[in-house]
């Protein structure tokens, strides 16, 4: 049985699997009469393997990270768009996210890394990179083989390019905040008072429409201009310094003036 979370990709490096969290379909017990509380087995390639419940497995993971005295970095292929968010929600559901955050670890996305250091390749999937750069094939989507292949790929082809690709452990949480910020601009986008590109930049800068409105209430057009055009720590404009764009947003926020 390999349905849902019991698929091959759920195998950990120690060959333990997590209890399935996806609800079973209606009447599933009629055709799959398995009581997981009394039958502590799952199967991989028709062979029984042991598993751990999510909280226990995540506790082991946090304990594993605590063994590293310096800042640990979690590496994964396409981790920035997928894996770190899965990890965040799993830890959050088990009230363990703060424990991970306390280790001040970071992430590295090897897909992003190889796109930067080896531009122009036809594909950046892990299987293609391993095949093209290492001349090997492996059992893709099996977590054990995936991890070993990625470790080999990273240590032989990109070990000297890692530091600049580390992103903060708060990234998945920041993405949730950003999505919440984006929603506040729905009406302004629909009214064509602001472009999606500008909204995305404002949301990444942790600005909701209410912040823009507050700047107008306090200092009018000059307040909005100061907020959107202020410089970041890196010397970049926070959102925009284009007066045409700023004026259009101001007009949307002050329809009665």
Over residues 108-124, the mean pLDDT reads 94
Task: Estimate to the nearest angstrom the gap between the alpha carbon of 180 and the chain centroid.
Answer: 16
What is the longest distance spanned by two Cα atoms in the chain? 73
Residue 148 near residue 11, CB atoms below 8 Å? no
Between CA 35 and CA 124 the distance in angstroms is 41
Which one is predicted more confidently, 238 or 36?
238
Residue 16 near residue 50, CB atoms below 8 Å: yes
Is the pLDDT at 29 greater than 80? The verdict is no
Q: Predicted confidence band at 12 (pLDDT cuts at 50, 70, 90)?
A: very low
Question: What is the tens place of the pLDDT at every residue in 83-108?
Answer: 999 999 999 999 999 988 888 789 99
């Amino acid at each position: 049985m390999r349905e849902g979370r019991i698929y091959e990709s759920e195998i950990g490096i120690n060959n333990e699997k997590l209890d399935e969290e996806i609800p079973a379909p209606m009447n599933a017990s009629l055709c799959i009469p398995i009581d997981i509380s009394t039958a502590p087995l799952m199967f991989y390639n028709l062979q029984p393997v042991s598993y751990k419940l999510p909280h226990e497995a995540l506790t082991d993971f946090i304990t594993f990270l605590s063994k590293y005295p310096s800042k640990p970095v979690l590496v994964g292929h396409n981790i920035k768009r997928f894996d770190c968010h899965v990890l965040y929600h799993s830890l959050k559901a088990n009230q363990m996210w703060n424990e991970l955050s306390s280790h001040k670890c970071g992430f590295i996305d090897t897909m992003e890394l190889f796109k930067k250091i080896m531009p122009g390749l036809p594909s950046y999937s892990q299987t293609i990179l391993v095949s093209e750069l290492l001349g090997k094939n492996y059992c893709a989507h099996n977590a054990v083989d995936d991890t070993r292949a990625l470790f080999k790929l990273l240590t032989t082809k990109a070990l000297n390019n890692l530091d600049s690709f580390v992103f903060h452990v708060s990234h998945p949480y920041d993405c949730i905040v950003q999505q919440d910020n984006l929603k506040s601009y729905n009406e302004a986008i629909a009214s064509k008072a602001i472009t999606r590109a500008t909204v995305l930049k404002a949301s990444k800068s942790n600005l909701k429409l209410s912040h823009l409105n507050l700047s107008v209430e306090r200092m009018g057009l000059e307040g909005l201009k100061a907020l959107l055009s202020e410089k970041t720590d890196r010397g970049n404009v926070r959102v925009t310094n284009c007066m045409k764009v700023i004026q259009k947003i101001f007009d949307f926020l002050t329809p009665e003036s």
